[in-house]
Amino acid sequence: FGSSFDPCAACPPVRHHTAPRAMSTFVAQLARAPVATVVPESLAVAPRLSSAGVASQLTSGFALGTAGVSLAAAAAAAATRRSSRASAGSRVHGSARAKAVVACRAVPTLHVGIVGYGLVGKELVSQVLANAAKLEKDLGVKVQITAVARSKTMVLLAPGGDSALANGAWPSGEVDADLSKLTDFVLAAAKASGGRAMMVDNTASDAPADMYEAWLAAGAHVATPNKRAGAGPYSRYEKIMAAARTGGSRFLYEATVGAGLPIVGPLQTLLKAGDEVTKVEGIFSGTLSYIFNTWKPGMKYSEVVNDAKNKGFTEPDPRDDLSGTDVGRKVTILARECGLKLELGDIPIKSLVPDALASWQPAAGESVGDGFVKQLEAYDAEMESLIADAKAAGEVLRFVGAIDLKADTASVKLSRYPKDHPFASTQFADNIVTYDTKWYRPRPLVVQGPGAGAAVTAAGIFGNIMEVMSGMRRPRP
């Protein structure tokens, strides 16, 4: 009391006073004025609440004898006069306030726009649809897919129409893709429901990344596995982060490093909590993890690369993986998270593609993957010496990205590690990252697990969606 009672952001504040004289004045006003202008909506709309009950709740804890009036009589008088004394202005005022109460009690909705409807996009939608009802029950927040875009077409869905996306289906009513129109549609849906908007970019393109700043500034949250923004030009990265602050929105990118593994989040938590991170090091490529977990002395390097290609671990052109550029992007994202103002080009990357094959092109009609592996055979002996030397020293070869916060540097390279090092324990296509910090010593904090694939990548994005939903929770009656 002596302060504002504010049930929620949508409800106007109601002032209360403790002094007896103020109470007498308040009750006298209650007797003269229409109830709608003085009674908080939280009480006015309560089911089966009598006028006397309203008065007693408003004055609970006060010295009624000092006030010197009959509250029940005043409330009854006010009720009698309500129909005759209420002016047009008070009716409008009461209506607006009643609508505010309804808005407060409505279940908030997160409206999601999906850009990119390939393997990851379809898996994400499947996860959202399968869990939406449970999340609404647990969090008191709805989530709806409001719009979906492919490379050339998009569908803008009616409220509750996201069931048309079940099982990876593409709904009817598609139009030419236009990210600006899609954005406006999602924002308008959020405004109409009183909820929030969220854009999810499942592509690997710069075009959606160029829109993050506008999305965030407009108040839409952004979640993505796309590394283009986090590892692209630093000037754009700064603008994106600034837009999130000014727009009251969140830029979420857990899935950019390690897919669904919690890698970015724990690092952010450590830094915000005041820990001092001195080094971050990890195996950030599922493809290269598989190659070096599989390759043993006596095996031809080209055959291991071919095995990874045949199992779908590599891109159609294996050089996209062996070049280390993708690892470099992930290292750039983590380095910036640690406060280093680095560009991707500032990071030395040791490519596993022989210089002579960097610009090689397949013959007409030849598969680029098969042709490259055949050319790689000429370098098997050179690579064999590397793994043989590592074994002789009791070590293993691993392709890693590292950030040295003491030296303010980052690198991507092929390194050797003793067999008791966490990196030596990786299996199949594991990703793994270690954080050396002031708190985590003498052994580092380790995060390890599958770091590639549509299901785990979608799970990382879905985790970010649920973070936003948790922040939208409202007190329940």
- Active-site annotation holder among 122, 227, 309, 330: 330
Q: Which two tokens stand for residue 30?
A: 């209650």
- Distances in whole angstroms, Cα of residue 59 to Cα of each of 15, 20, 406: 13, 11, 62
**CA nearest neighbour of 331 among 255, 410, 440, 259:** 410
Q: Give the H/E segment covering residue 277.
A: strand 277-283
| Strands 221-223 vs 251-252: parallel, antiparallel or unpaired | parallel
Distance CA 300, CA 383 (A): 8
- Contact between residue 59 and residue 18 where contact means Cβ atoms under 8 Å apart: no
Q: Which two tokens stand for residue 255?
A: 């899935």
Distance CA 327, CA 339 (A): 19
Q: Which two tokens stand for residue 430?
A: 């594991």
Q: Is 330 a catalytic residue?
A: yes
Question: Helix or strand or coil: residue 168?
Answer: helix
Q: Which residues of 355-368 are buried (b: 16+ CB within 10 A; e: fewer)?
A: eeeeeeeeeeeeee
Q: Which two tokens stand for residue 4?
A: 């504002």
- Contact between residue 404 and residue 340 where contact means Cβ atoms under 8 Å apart: no
Residue type, 59: T
DSSP 56-81: HHHTTTS-HHHHTS-HHHHHHHHHHH
| Strands 175-176 vs 196-201: parallel, antiparallel or unpaired | unpaired
Count Cβ atoms below 10 Å from residue 231 Cβ, excluding itself: 27
User: What is the layout of strands, in order, in the sheet containing 395-404?
Assistant: 409-418, 395-404, 277-283, 430-437, 445-450
Distance CA 299, CA 307 (A): 12
**CA nearest neighbour of 112 among 79, 65, 66, 144:** 144
Beta bridge partners of 434: 281, 446
Q: Which residues of 310-328 are buried (b: 16+ CB within 10 A; e: fewer)?
A: eeebbeebbbebbbbbbbb
Active site (catalytic) residues: 330
